[in-house]
A and B are shown apart, each in its own frame.
Chain A
């Protein structure tokens, strides 16, 4: 990335700032793993039914930030969380929070597509099944709907019984998206979902994100600044675990307020 001119932000739809109610809100969040602090004092509002991109150099805490929303960050390790992470005003770290319900409401797409070594159908049906759907009709319907939403239905409708591991990388990632959509979440988190994909597959995922915006609140972590500029409404820049700046994507990429943001998006470091 040589200059900021290369990054063309998408045309502004409407001013997002303060127009949309916050779906997810971070209030002074500090997050530590044993011997390492990942986030310190992050305050950030994620507007409802918008795409919010999180950018920043490697190790700046982007992944931890979104994994703290559905509390995946704490799996298999001990963590310390200060401040509040809320969804619709409810603190997700409050005692007695039902993790199952939380994670049903917040879907997640990972850096590397991680379909289960099961059939395509079983992958998508996994969520509905664990949440109690058992009637074959319901499952069929949920699977078809989700695969259509993920624009994968036409490619796989004749081979729903084959292993998901036989799909291409891009198809696998869309299958994972279908798997997320099948549990009908409100928020969808994406942790660099295209980092392992070729440009064509990336473009398809980006098209899908465009459509998801209409119904879901999307938070996407990305290394790729063109991607952030193309798909997001709001962009937050994170550095060393601290939030440097958050604004409408157009503003961030044209007239950033902070010097460090400008340095980063123009490729001077990171």
Chain B
């Protein structure tokens, strides 16, 4: 009887804590939706901040977030996926390969602020200033810019992408590779025709999650390119030769506004944080929505992918 009693209580406690976590999630999201939903209007999404950032919208921050995320994807995703394919399919299991794999794994857990330090010290002060010195003519590369912020984020998500991709690749049964080799397929034929088709969904899921992680990070870009307030978008007009036309293009050497940085700065550094609370809530809601869309996509993809694996 006593055993039965202990079991009932213990299981109820476990169930209780699980639902407490669910409740905490709902409370967190709920408080942000409640605070932010009223603020979100078309004007909020499409206008620039006005009157010392106490009014107006957050369009430059949305624009900056999208730009930097895309730039980060271009820098990190192909590199990370290719590196993972090399590590899993080509590098074998020698001692060195194992050490490299372990350190990549570990880097996925290194604090993001450390990447911020690296971004300032390496990209801006070392690379950027060196370019400026060679180029001559004052500071251009050696200062915070979208390019360096994106590069810092890229270095941050690179190990995450590699780890996720490697996991998806190793999930493909070894017997399929053996069968392919035994039929005389080359390594690349095996990778392209047998391994990648099976790992594709997993790689995609992992990549979306990595990108979503990068898009929500603040610490690495605090000092590498974010601006408190920019009255203009980071756009430069490039003249097309002989036509007299000019094409607007995102300027990667400009600073930019960014959603997560905007939240941080408005909540902690603004002169009257309480007065701009609604703007802070609205910005937070937009950022949450953005990352949720990415995460939901990844989760639903994974559910479909798992079902596919289990039916085999």
Contacts and interface: CB of A to CB of B under 8 A. Distances in A.
Direct A–B contact present (CB less than 8 angstroms): yes
Interface of A: 70, 72, 75-78, 99-108, 110, 112, 114-118, 126-127, 129-131, 165, 176, 179-180, 183
Contacts of A176: 179
A104 B194 CA distance: 17
A104 B94 CA distance: 28
A76 B195 CA distance: 15
B194 A165 contact: no
Contact of B184 (A103, A117, A165): A103
A104 B184 contact: yes
Contacts of A127: 183-185
Contacts of A117: 198, 312
B193 A126 contact: yes
Contacts of A115: 179
B173 interface: yes
B183 A130 contact: yes
B275 interface: no
> Which of A78, A129, A130: most chain B CB closer than 10 A?
A130
17 contacts: A76-B92, A77-B93, A101-B184, A103-B181, A103-B184, A104-B184, A107-B182, A110-B178, A114-B173, A117-B312, A126-B180, A127-B183, A127-B184, A165-B311, A180-B182, A180-B183, A183-B183
A130 B184 contact: yes
Contacts of A107: 182-183
A112 B182 CA distance: 14
A139 B178 CA distance: 23
- Chain B contact residues: over half helix, strand or loop, or mixed? helix
Contacts of B307: none
A110 B93 CA distance: 23
B2 interface: no
A114 B183 contact: no
Contacts of A102: 184
> Which of B173, B183, B189, B198: most chain A CB closer than 10 A?
B183
Interface of B: 92-94, 173-186, 189, 193-194, 197-198, 311-312
A106 B181 CA distance: 11
A54 to B, nearest CB: 17
A99 B205 CA distance: 35
B15 to A, nearest CB: 37
Given A75-B178, A110-B178, A117-B312, A130 B185 contact: yes
A70 B182 contact: yes
A103 B183 contact: yes
Contacts of A129: 193
B93 A183 contact: no
Contacts of B194: 116
Given A76-B92, A76-B93, A126-B193, A100 B184 contact: yes
Contacts of A78: 92, 94
B178 A126 contact: no
Report the 5 A-B pairs with minimum CB-CB distance, sorted nearest first: A104-B184, A108-B182, A114-B175, A103-B184, A127-B183
B177 to A, nearest CB: 7
Contacts of B175: 110, 112, 114
B94 A103 contact: no
Contacts of A130: 183-186, 189, 193
A66 to B, nearest CB: 11
Contacts of B197: 118
A116 B180 CA distance: 9
A61 B176 CA distance: 22
Nearest to B92: A76
A165 B312 contact: yes
Nearest to B198: A117
A29 B262 CA distance: 70
Nearest to A105: B184
A33 B183 CA distance: 23
A100 B193 contact: no
Contacts of A70: 182
Nearest to B94: A78
Contact of A72 (B92, B173, B181, B198): B181
Contacts of A99: 181
B304 to A, nearest CB: 14
Contacts of B180: 116, 126
A176 B198 CA distance: 18
Contacts of B181: 72, 75, 99, 103
A114 B176 contact: yes
A115 B194 CA distance: 10
B6 to A, nearest CB: 44
A179 B183 contact: yes
Contacts of B198: 117
Nearest to A71: B181
A125 B176 CA distance: 15
Nearest to A112: B175
Contacts of A103: 181-185
Given A77-B93, A116-B194, A126 B176 contact: no
Nearest to B312: A165
B188 to A, nearest CB: 10
Contacts of B311: 165
Nearest to B311: A165
A107 B197 CA distance: 23
Nearest to A70: B182
Nearest to B93: A76
